[in-house]
Structures are given as C-alpha cells and as structure tokens.
C-alpha cells in the first residue's frame, strides 16, 4: 500500500522500480547501480530489513553514490539515529505529507546530481594531469612488449583486468581502503610490471622451450632490475605513481604462501598493488599465445588458477575474479590494440 502511495506521488516525474523486500532491492542495485537516482527505503520488510540493506549498501560502496531516504512508521530517536549512522540521507516518518515527500525527493536528487557534476569536474582535471604519465608509461611498456615479441595487448589487458579486480575488491572488502585515484594509478603503473625485462637477454626472453634452471634464475632478475630502474629516479621518490610501480615491478611474482620471488614475501606482506597485478598477469598469460605455448580457454585458465596450478593467490582476490569472470571474458576479448586503448580512454 505504501509503495502504491509513493508511486502515485512520484510516478509522473520518475521511473519507479519496486522491490517487495530487501533481497530484491539489493538485486536491483546490483543490476542498475548508479542508474538509480534515489532509494526510498522502509525499515520493516520481510527477509531483510532496511538497516540490513543500508549495511550492504555501505559494504558495496553504493551509499556513496546513491542517496537513501528512509520512510518508516518507526519514528523513535534510536531508529532515526541508526539510519543516519548507516548513511541514510534523510528520514521521513509515516504517515507522510505528499508535498513534503515530493519536495524532499526532488531536493535530494538535485543535490546528488550536483555532487556528481563536481566529481566529474575533478575527475576531468585528474584525467588531464595523468594523461602525460599514461602516454609515457604506455610508450615504455610497448617497447618492452615489442622486445619480448608480443603485440602490446598483454600490457593493455593487464590494465583492464587490474581495474576490474580493484573495483570489485573495493566493493567486497574494507581491508584495502584505496580511493578511485589510487586504483587508477595502480592500473596505470601495472603497465610497467615487466619493464625490467629490458635488461634480460633476448635469447632467454624469446626462447620457445622451457627455460633451464640457470636461465630461469636470470629471468627472475627482471623484478629486481625493474625496481632498481624506478628506484634510481631519485627526484620522483615521493610520487605515489612511482611507489606503486616499484611495488608492482619488484613483487608481482611473489606468492601468497611465501614461495615466490625475489624476496619470498608472504600473505599481506605483499602490497595489494602487486597482488592484483600478479593475478591479472597470470590470467592474461594463460589465455594468450606465447612463444612457448598456445592460449588456454577462459574455463581452463580459471580452473588452473583456482586449483593452485599457477601459484597461490589471496583467496579474496580469487573470489573477486570468479565474480567478475563474465565481464573479464567479454572485455579481454578485445583483440586489437586500438580497441583496447579506446576502451581505457572511456574508462578513464
């Protein structure tokens, strides 16, 4: 009945999505995301109450982009305080005044629209600031890829997959508090993950067969060479981009169980930037042709990664990869460098 009343008040101005309980509301949020301008949320609902919905919206970071107005007959101070603590933007007690509801909805949508415009403005400024960094990083990575006998798609795929994994990880966990700007820098810095290979003999880099033990020891040095190259840029030591690039170069071959190289870091000793790029690197290497192997299917690659056949990864990152695998398969299906670059420009 309350939904019908609200539809009558707002239906002429807005497209209304109805959910009969909290579970259905979360399904709609998952489907539509920030296409939803506002959520009108009751506290008392079957299966999952309004507070639980707010808790999920906080966990998945939706509350930052989608305003919530609580509309409930529960008007006690403790209920109202709890709603605001969980991120509700406004609280209207039932029975409600039609004009009040209408005006508050309009005001809230306008406020968030203005906020989004400001965010876009700041984002555009950051984009311009980072554009030259991205171009130079792209040029350097393409040099390494060319020397390594590859098309350049690997570096671009790593960028895309790193972005997808970080976006999912930030929604899934509060353990890693990375801003949008930091996620963007990590994805950009991922292009330099193998820059140390510029110091490795081409005969080893492009050997069709399996490397000998001695050759593999030489190959492993690319992590240290890359880190040393970045560390030598003394005037940029305080730059966040260089910090992430260093972490990625040196530690993207570490393993979560401590059996990686070059330093044998274990678990969360490995920076999250290197952990994410490591998983992205392994996945794309599996689904791509190499001088020493043919490409595996997405299904086979996922099986190998999840069964531990390609190293040991952070279980949370593996969950993220499983949950975004359909998007990964679609977006890493891009087969030309130009299409990849266009995609990354749109994402930026």
Residues that are catalytic: 197
Query: Measured at the alpha carbon of residue 116, what is the angle toward residues 40 and 61, in degrees to the nearest 5?
Result: 60
Q: Residue 49 corresponds to which tokens in the numbers above?
A: 């109450």
Residues found in the chain: 348
Q: Find, among 78, 10, 87, the residue nearest to 52 by Cα.
A: 87
How many alpha carbons fall within 13 Å on the CB side of residue 333?
9
Q: Are residues 56 and 85 in contact, defined by beta-carbon separation less than 8 angstroms?
A: no
Q: Which of 323, 278, 277, 285 is nearest to 301 (CA)?
A: 285
Decide: 73 and 93 in contact? Cβ < 8 Å: yes
Lateral strand order in the sheet of 90-93:
39-41, 68-72, 90-93
d(CA 300, CA 257): 23
User: Using CA atoms, how far apart are residues 294 and 323, in angstroms rounded to an integer?
Assistant: 26
Question: How is 208-242 classified by DSSP, letter by letter?
Answer: SSPPPHHHHHHHHHHHHHHHHHHHT-GGGTT-HHH
**Cα 346 to Cα 232: distance, rounded to the nearest angstrom:** 33
Neighbours of 71 (CB within 10 A): 20
- Residue of 332, 239, 326, 317 whose CA lies nearest to 285: 332
- Other Cβ atoms within 10 Å of 322 Cβ, number: 13
DSSP per residue, 99-161: HHHHHHHHHHHHHHHHHHHHHHHHHHHHHHHHHHHHHHHHHHHHHHHHHTT--SHHHHHHHHH
């Amino acid at each position: 009945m309350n939904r019908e009343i609200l539809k009558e008040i707002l239906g002429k101005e807005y497209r209304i999505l109805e959910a009969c309980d909290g579970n259905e509301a979360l399904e709609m949020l998952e489907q539509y995301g920030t296409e939803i301008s506002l959520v009108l949320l009751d506290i008392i609902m079957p299966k999952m109450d309004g507070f639980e919905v707010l808790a999920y919206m906080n966990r998945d970071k939706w509350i930052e982009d989608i305003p919530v107005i609580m509309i409930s007959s529960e008007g006690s101070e403790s209920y109202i305080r709890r709603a605001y603590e969980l991120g509700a933007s406004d609280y209207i007690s039932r029975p409600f005044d039609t004009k009040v509801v209408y005006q508050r909805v309009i005001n809230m949508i306008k406020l968030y629209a203005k906020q989004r415009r400001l965010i876009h403005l700041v984002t555009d400024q950051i984009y311009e600031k980072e554009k030259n960094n991205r171009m130079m990083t792209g040029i350097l990575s393409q040099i390494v890829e060319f020397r390594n006998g590859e098309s350049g798609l690997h570096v671009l795929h790593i960028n895309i997959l790193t972005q997808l994994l970080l976006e999912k990880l930030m929604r899934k966990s509060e353990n890693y508090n990375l801003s949008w700007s930091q996620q963007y820098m990590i994805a950009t810095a991922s292009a330099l993950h193998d820059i140390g290979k510029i110091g490795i003999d081409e005969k080893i880099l492009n050997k069709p067969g399996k490397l000998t033990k001695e050759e593999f020891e030489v190959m492993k040095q690319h992590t240290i060479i890359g880190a040393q190259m970045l560390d030598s840029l003394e005037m940029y030591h305080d730059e966040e981009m260089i910090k992430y690039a260093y972490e990625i170069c040196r530690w993207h071959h570490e393993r979560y169980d401590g059996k990686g190289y070059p330093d044998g870091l274990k678990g969360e000793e490995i920076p999250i930037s290197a952990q994410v790029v490591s998983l992205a690197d392994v996945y794309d290497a599996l689904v791509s042709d190499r001088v020493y192997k043919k490409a595996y299917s997405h299904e086979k690659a996922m099986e190998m990664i999840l069964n531990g056949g390609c190293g040991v990864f952070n279980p949370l990152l593996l969950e993220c990869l499983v949950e975004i695998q359909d998007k990964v398969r679609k977006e890493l299906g891009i087969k030309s460098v130009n299409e990849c670059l266009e995609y990354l420009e749109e994402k930026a």
